[in-house]
Structure 1
């Protein structure tokens, strides 16, 4: 089953490995707010900061994970849904960000009252970074 796994991995990005090397060579700095630390350094470590912000913003308890599954179940019917995985993820993310007041209600309203989007393009993928939490931490 894993015969072709190595060929799927692709080439290692040299810039990413240089970024990791720079990060590992840098001095350790004490911080009380790791999210802010990575936000402040996203120009020095663009890939690592994005990854760190994604992982560090994950809730630390299993209770929230169970709530997300419950919300997902309410967002999708039991029989199935025509929503893509990205759309489902976007719905759950925006809902959570709204409850945490990371996005303004006026912004949500402006987006939802905008023009209709053509749903005929089933191959559409959202731009990289659409779900990046650091955009709201500016």
Structure 2
């Protein structure tokens, strides 16, 4: 998608992101509220990455880095835009962020029942780990 804009979310995006997750994300989380997302954006301005197409939200991913490990959450793509490269572009941006911060491995929590997401993560090079419900990809060798 050549018309896709990838950028870090701002505090002005919080309500739009929360509404988007209700329609595009699989399930909800205890932290899917205004306070939680505002805290995320204030604490780590680059962690919540959004994709926009024609000024509308097309996808999101949270690329959290705690100084040691890289964690991916809330990869969500608008249902009408799936399988068009939005998720891949978001993951590429997240991986670039991790690499710039010195991260060496990205991991993602993926619901066992979410087979659509499992396909997307596998296509992006992530693999399930037998001991955890976590999918992992080494970013550097």
Do the structures match in fold with TM over 0.5?
no
- Point out the structure with the larger helix share: 1
> In which range does the TM-score fall when normalised by the shorter chain?
under 0.3
Q: Which has the larger radius of gyration?
A: 1
- Point out the structure with the larger strand share: 2
Structure 1 length-normalised TM: 0.23
Structure 2 length-normalised TM: 0.23
Q: Which has the higher contact order (CA 8 A, sep 6+)?
A: 1
